[in-house]
Amino acid sequence: METKKITIKDVARQSGVSISTVSQILNGNETRFSSLTVKKVIQAKKDLNYEPDYFARRMIMKKSKTIGVLVPDITNPFFSELVRGIENIFYQKGFITMLCNADLDQEKEDAYLAELSRRGVDGFIIASSVISNESINATLKAKNHPFIVLDQKKADGISDAVLTDDFSGGAQAAQHLKDLGHQKIAIVMPTNAPENVCGRLAGVRSVYEEKQIEIIDAQLSKIGGREAVAKILATDVTGIFAVNDEIALGIYLGLAEAGKQIPEDYSVIGYDNIDMCEYMVPKLTTIAQPIFELGQTTANMLLERIETPDKNWEEKTLPVHLVKRFSTAHLI
């Protein structure tokens, strides 16, 4: 025999108040009612084991309490930690995070944006450089969806944004290698790099002359770093700047396979400060980004945008810093 579904009418009947009163109290408007009334409604809900109908609630409140988060590659520990920071804030505020991993595929990203919009999420966080501003305009701005971009995606004045100081990070990495006596260095990065990586390159160029830099093309991945080693060995560089720690991990393996040692043969510095840096041998010197804080700041800014849709666009830049470990050494 099928159990009868408990409705809001049942809660109202048991607590002795109107359906409207129950609805408002269960939707967070307790301050409008006496503590006794609130207590009776909450107790009735508990006694009857009542669960609000999600879709009916959304139709009434015009909110889904869900946030769409679009990342390019969830296998990269940077994005795992970023999402952890995002989720930390939204969980406290009663929101559910819907994570979409786009695999650096623009068609997939466009499809995710359209589907999240159809499902009525309350806001969007875009942490990918692949998606175009045209897609953002067509899917998000045209429908007045609150959204924010961060990390790899430049805001270009069309949205709120949270960034880290990539220019400073690149300059700090370069200065560290220069202080150790390295006169020629390799920068391992994609040819068509996202905005944040280009900022790191600009920082390096503020320290080294162009003739002192070898740009080695590589994907932003461990495989990219490993495959870049053959090109590095064909140069006369002594220092290597990997524009993310994932590339650095691949470089470690590639150099080991080539019979080279770090830092005896090459000094290597990464970028991000993912937790694996502490477990590599030798431990990786890197530029630390406040990844968890980046996620938290992004979530808080999006919540502000949801509450105040017409406020001016805001952009925040968080600082980065050098973490010295054992993968870099003075050039002998």
**CATH code, 26:** 1.10.260.40
Domain count, the chain: 3
Query: pLDDT tens per residue, the chain (332 residues)?
Result: 456 778 888 888 989 999 889 888 887 678 888 989 989 989 988 888 887 665 555 545 556 789 999 998 888 999 999 999 999 999 999 899 999 988 877 788 888 888 888 888 999 998 876 665 666 767 777 778 888 888 555 556 667 889 999 999 999 999 999 999 999 999 999 998 988 999 999 999 999 999 999 999 999 999 999 999 999 999 999 999 999 999 999 999 999 999 999 999 999 999 999 999 999 999 999 999 999 999 999 999 999 999 998 888 888 999 999 999 999 999 97
Q: 3-state class of 25 per DSSP?
A: helix
- Same structural domain for residues 188 and 248? yes
Out of 44, 61, 78, pick the residue that ends a domain. 61
- The reply to whether 1 falls in a domain is no
Domain presence at residue 313: yes
On whether both 41 and 82 belong to a single domain, the answer is no
Is 41 inside any structural domain? yes
173 and 279 together in one domain: yes
Same domain, 82 and 155: yes
pTM of the model: 0.81
If asked whether residues 189 and 245 sit together in one domain, one would say: yes
Domain of 82: which CATH number?
3.40.50.2300
Provide CB contacts within 8 A for 184, sequence distance 6+: 212, 213, 214, 235, 236, 237, 238, 239
3-state secondary structure 128-147: CCCCCHHHHHHHHHCCCCCE
157 & 191 share domain:
no
Judge if 246 and 133 occupy the same domain. Answer: no
Indicate whether 15 belongs to any domain. Answer: yes
CA-nearest of 43, 12, 7, 36 to 21 is 12
> Are 170 and 283 contained in the same domain?
yes
Residue-number span of the structural domain to which 251 is assigned: 166-289
Q: Is residue 2 part of a domain?
A: no
Q: Do 89 and 122 have their domain in common?
A: yes
d(CA 155, CA 246): 25
In the structure encoding, which two tokens stand for residue 2, read together? 């099928």
Q: Is residue 19 part of a domain?
A: yes
Same-domain check for residues 312 and 226: no
Are residues 251 and 110 part of one domain?
no
Q: Is residue 326 part of a domain?
A: no
Instruction: Count how many Cα atoms sit within 13 Å of the Cα of residue 116 in the half-sphere of its side chain.
Output: 30
Contact 158, 133 (CB under 8 A): yes
On whether both 120 and 207 belong to a single domain, the answer is no
What ranges in the chain are assigned the alpha helix state H?
Answer: 8-15, 19-26, 35-48, 54-61, 77-92, 106-118, 133-136, 166-179, 195-205, 222-233, 245-257, 291-307
Is there a domain that residue 232 lies in?
Answer: yes
